[in-house]
Amino acid sequence: MNYFLNYPIYVFFGTLPSLIWLNFYLKRDVRPEPKLKVLKIFFFGILSTMPAIFFETVIFGLFSKLNFPSLTIFILNIFLGVALVEEILKFLVVKLEVLNDPDFDEPIDAMIYMIISALGFAASENILILFPLKSSFLSQILGISLLRFLGATFLHTLCTAITGFFIGLSFFEKKARRKLIYLGLTLAILLHGFYNFSIMKMGEGLKVLIPPTLLIISAIFVSFGFKRLKKMTKEIY
């Protein structure tokens, strides 16, 4: 069988979770962003997986040479090799393409564009996970796509939305802009790292409990973030 024929299916179901979340969050924006700009940020989010793979590979290699316990190496890989690299790259997409744009004039846009960047990244990540499959069983592809929709894709969305919230706050605290952005990135990195650690290293009971709890708490915070920025914007502007 020519497994290359399955690749369009993998691309579709790999991208689908991101497109569903994208549609959901774009509806939270009262004044929709230009479609071309949305596509551009989503595309750059996809491309950002390439430097992520490179930097993660290099960092994993460097950490493997350290004379540390295996658990310590694992934690360094998870928090610095994965979470730090991916959250910074998703942020850089928005920083380089949006933050200096004169049309970027609403605090809530920071959350929207960070989410778009994250969903592009997640789509590429999902596709790369599906590509090695040598099976055309739709149930298997659907199962992985659903798990990614509820787990990793949602995680990427929430992490970057948290960073976006603090970027949005910086509209009102311009002197503290750098500190707020650093705070947002730090929280996103910690959330990303703890989530990955919980699904990979914790016992079966905690593995079922901790990841959903982290996602639910983060989703509540992000929902609060949207409402807070909208309220602050109305009060000041």
> pLDDT tens digit string along 82-95?
999 999 999 999 99
Closest alpha carbon to 178 in 190, 166, 189 = 166
Mean pLDDT of 182-195: 97
Q: Average pLDDT over the chain, rounded to whole?
A: 90
Q: Three-state DSSP class for 117?
A: helix
Distance CA 92, CA 90 (A): 6
pLDDT value for 136: 58
Domain definitions of the chain by residue range: 3-236
Cα distance between residue 83 and residue 53, in whole Å: 12
Q: Give how far the C-alpha of residue 157 lies from the chain's centroid of Cα atoms, to the nearest Å.
A: 4
Per the listing, tokens 């928005």 go with 94
Higher-confidence residue of 82 and 138: namely 82
Average pLDDT over residues 109-113: 94
| Amino acid at the residue 108 | I
**Pick from 235, 91, 110: nearest CA to 171:** 110
Percentages helix, strand, coil for the chain, rounded to the nearest 5?
Answer: 85, 0, 15
Check pLDDT > 50 for residue 1.
no
Taking a C-beta distance cutoff of 8 angstroms, is the pair 216, 208 a contact?
no
For residues 140 and 170, what is the distance between their CA atoms, to the nearest angstrom?
44
Cβ burial, residue 134 (10 Å; 0-12/13-18/19+) = exposed
Measure CA of the first residue to CA of the last residue in the chain; give whole Å: 61
Residue predicted with more confidence, 62 or 237: 62
The residues, ordered by sequence, that sit 6+ positions from 85 with a Cβ below 8 Å of its Cβ are 52, 55, 56, 59
Residue 236 has pLDDT above 80, yes or no: no
pLDDT digits 0-9 by tens, 24-64: 999 877 778 888 999 999 999 999 999 999 999 999 999 99
